[in-house]
Structure 1
Amino acid sequence: MVEKGKLVKVSYDGYVEGKLFDTTNEELAKKEGIYNPAVVYGPVAIFAGEGQILPGLDEVILEMDVGEEREVVLPPEKAFGKRDPSKIKLVPISEFKKRGIQPIKGLTVYIDNIPGKIVSVNSGRVLVDFNHELAGKEVKYRIKIEEVVENKEDIVKEIVKMYVPRLTDVNVTIENETVKIELPEFAPFIPNIERFKMAIANEILKRLEDVDKVAFIETFERKKENMEKTE
């Protein structure tokens, strides 16, 4: 069975009321009409048993072996939670005007970084439901443990992808208790990259006990076409 705290890569398909709503399989997402070009598909890495996935899935992963596949049905309390009436709130329409948002029924909005769906708009007040859209629903998952990541360099690469999915192919070296991560040239243009670098470094130091330092290396090369123009 998978040991708690181990880094595992899992694939999964999630269904609610017989319909696919989440998957790591790009082809299946396209087939079922839920493909999102902003999503990086493929097995995802998580630290088993540490709350990085739905509670019910976190529990079952600790009962599984590498290569094993299971189908599990999760009640609301082990999935997206029960519906909480206190999370349905009246928000003054002025709050939306401040943000330049025209409140429309069914629109998903963010208030204080919390997503909610507009239920109704009436008399200058907007009723917003901040419950997860699948709160109160039973969900079914097919989940498979693809591998346990043991190699330290690979662990670092997966941690980088956890925080910045676009960084799928960074070069990592570990020597003299220091992790060196070579970032691509476009990295400085990723929103909040400095905050992500801090989070990545903290996660690496937490997970790799024999590492004392994390260094990010940014290299900018002269483009070949520019060199040709100067010749």
Structure 2
Amino acid sequence: MTEQETPKETKAKKSATKKPTRKEETQGAVERAETEGTVSKGSLIYLDYVGRTKEDGQVFDLTLEDVAKAEGIYKEDSRYEPILVAVGWNWLLGAIEDELVGMKVGESKRIEVPPEKGAGPKDPKKVKMIPKMKLAKHGVKGYVGEKVKFGQEEGVITLSVGRTCRVDFNSPLAGQTLVFDVTVRGIVSDVQEKLKAIVKRRIPILPDDKYSVTLDGDTITVELPKESRYIDGVQYAEIGIAKDCLQVHEKAKQVKVVVTFDRPEENKTSHPTEETS
């Protein structure tokens, strides 16, 4: 702090230079979206939701931090922010996307999804009796409620009796009617904002100032930092970015994903050569 600066001025300066968090970046994108309009098939929107099971009202998924805290399920490492949804692209359950059509920005709605349109009915064949000795080899203790993983299957122990456990490998939501309370926060109409939002959705940990999207004629160019090479699954994310960009901007014919590697600066410290006599 200089002699001319007051503590308040110094704090303001630090706030101005402080990089926004991921949540703040998303909030900024939502604020730039249209605050009026009606959702139609193909609309790119920001959506808040809370998903519960109808039978007992248990929350299984949500985007709202205050609800997570009220329900006692808040997690520090979870992201609580509106999600990007391309209506009609099956980013959500079809039964939800169908109900979003016709909603207005700021409107809230409760949507019920029956089992056949949600996680499906319970499959009796996925409920298996497994010896505790076999479970123990996989590090399973054998108590009711314990989660079990066998190869690609994940289940939960629902009964433990004698030397055997009953393990249900159905989805925890199978056979249940799901209830979603949704709110449309904004509709993204600007093409540039749409393309940036798609990149952010595919690589959410990438700060906004670390990538750029430009549109030149029928070519979309996405420039990513070299650090993105170290992000798990980035190659698949790039394929998804290209596919989504072409779908959201039908006039485009190609997408270029560019990562630039600069030649490192040469070591400025020179080593003197030995003189020979």
Match of 1:15 among 52, 66, 86: 52
Cα 1:150/1:178, change in 2 over 3 Å: same
1:180-223 per-residue CA deviation (whole Å, 9 max, x = no partner) reads: 22324531111111122112212222332222222223356899
Residue 125 of structure 1 deviates from its aligned partner by 8.3
Q: Indicate which of 60, 64, 78 corresponds to 1:25.
A: 64
Deviation at 1:128, TM superposition (A): 4.2
* TM alignment of 1:93-172, pairs within 5 A: 101-104=138-141, 105=143, 106-109=145-148, 113-119=152-158, 128-167=167-206, 169=208, 170-172=211-213
Over residues 20-65 of structure 1, what are the superposed CA-to-partner deviations in whole Å (9 max), with x where a residue is unaligned?
A: 3321112332342223444332111112133221233222111422
Q: Structure 1 residues 181 and 48 mapped into 2: Cα distance closer, same or farther (>3 Å)?
A: same
| Residue 237 of structure 2: aligned partner | 196
**Equivalent residue, structure 2, for 1:59:** 98
Distance 1:217 1:96 in 2: 49
> Are residues 77 and 188 of structure 1, via their aligned partners in 2, closer, same or farther at CA, if it must alter by over 3 Å?
same
TM-score by length of structure 2 reads 0.66
- In the other structure, the counterpart of 1:187 is 228
Q: Deviations over 1:40-91 (max 9, x none)?
A: 3211111213322123322211142222111233332333322122333567
Would you tell me which structure has more strand in proportion to its own residues?
1
Alignment CA distance shift 1:107-1:45 (3 Å): same
Percent sequence identity over matched residues? Answer: 32
Structure 1 residues 94 and 18, CA gap change in structure 2 (3 angstroms): closer
- Report if aligned partners of 2:50, 2:182 keep a CA contact under 8 Å in 1: yes
* Residue correspondences, number: 224
Q: Determine the C-alpha separation between the residues in 2 that align with 1:21 and 1:168.
A: 28
Partner of 1:84: 123
SS at match of 2:80: coil
User: Larger Rg: 1 or 2?
Assistant: 2
Q: Is the 8 A contact 2:115 2:174 kept in 1?
A: yes
Indicate if the aligned counterparts of 2:41 and 2:87 stay in contact, CA closer than 8 A: yes
Could you tell me whether the CA contact under 8 Å between 1:11 and 1:43 is conserved in 2? yes
Paired position in structure 2 for 1:214: 255
TM-aligned CA distance change 1:145 to 1:112, over 3 Å: farther
For 1:36 and 1:180, how far apart are their aligned partners in 2?
A: 36
Displacement of 1:119 after TM fit? Answer: 4.6
Please tell me whether the aligned partners of residues 49 and 61 of structure 1 are also in contact (alpha carbons under 8 angstroms): no
Query: Equivalents in 2 of 1:52, 1:140: separation in Å?
Result: 17
Q: TM-score, normalised by structure 1?
A: 0.77
CA distance in 1: counterparts of 2:116 and 2:156, whole angstroms: 21
Structure 1 residues 75-108: Cα deviation after superposition (integer angstroms, max 9, x where no partner): 32333322122333567987996xxx42345444
Question: Per-residue CA shift, 1:105-149, capped at 9, x if unaligned?
Answer: 544455564543345689998754332112222232210111221
Q: Confirm or deny: 8 A CA contact 2:158 2:167 kept in the other structure.
A: yes
Which residue of structure 1 aligns with residue 40 of structure 2?
3
CA 1:221–1:146 in structure 2 vs 1: closer, same or farther (change >3 Å)?
farther
Alpha carbons of structure 1 residues 95 and 166: separation in structure 2 relative to 1, 3 Å: farther
**Superposition RMSD in Å:** 3.4
